[in-house]
Amino acid sequence: EAQVTQNPRYLITVTGKKLTVTCSQNMNHEYMSWYRQDPGLGLRQIYYSMNVEVTDKGDVPEGYKVSRKEKRNFPLILESPSPNQTSLYFCASSLQFPPYYEQYFGPGTRLTVT
């Protein structure tokens, strides 16, 4: 089954404790992206990747890191999480860049930073 998976689905952590949210797709998509969804703000893009070893900042990259060592994986790293990073995070992938092709979204990761 073609899908984008994220782990964990739910995470509660404390300020400053490094964490990684994994994202994996099995569709051989070149383009992958991370978004956060906050009440009243909709979806905002954090980082995106056009292909392996190619990443670029989206609208809200501060406080986040990403890597794309393999085509299928695109982890989101929070080196020192802060409460303002409490949010619902979505990973997405699409066949090519730019994403004129439909993006497939993962199920989301709800992160709470206390």
Quickly count: other Cβ atoms within 10 Å of residue 83's Cβ: 10
Alpha-carbon Rg for the chain in angstroms: 13
| Count of residues of this chain found to bind another protein when the rule CB under 8 A is applied | 26
Contact pick of 68, 97, 111, 113 for another protein (by CB under 8 A): 97
Cis status of the peptide bond prior to 107, with omega within 30 of 0? no
Decide if residue 58 touches another protein (CB under 8 A). yes
Q: CA–CA separation, 104 vs 48, rounded Å?
A: 14
For another protein, what does the binding mask look like between residues 9 and 28, x meaning CB under 8 A?
--------------------
Q: Which of these ranges, 12-20, 21-29, 68-76, 100-108, lies near another protein under the rule CB under 8 A? A: 100-108
Q: CA–CA separation, 37 vs 54, rounded Å?
A: 24
Residues that bind another protein (CB under 8 A): 4, 33, 35, 40-45, 48, 56, 58-59, 90, 92, 97-100, 102-108
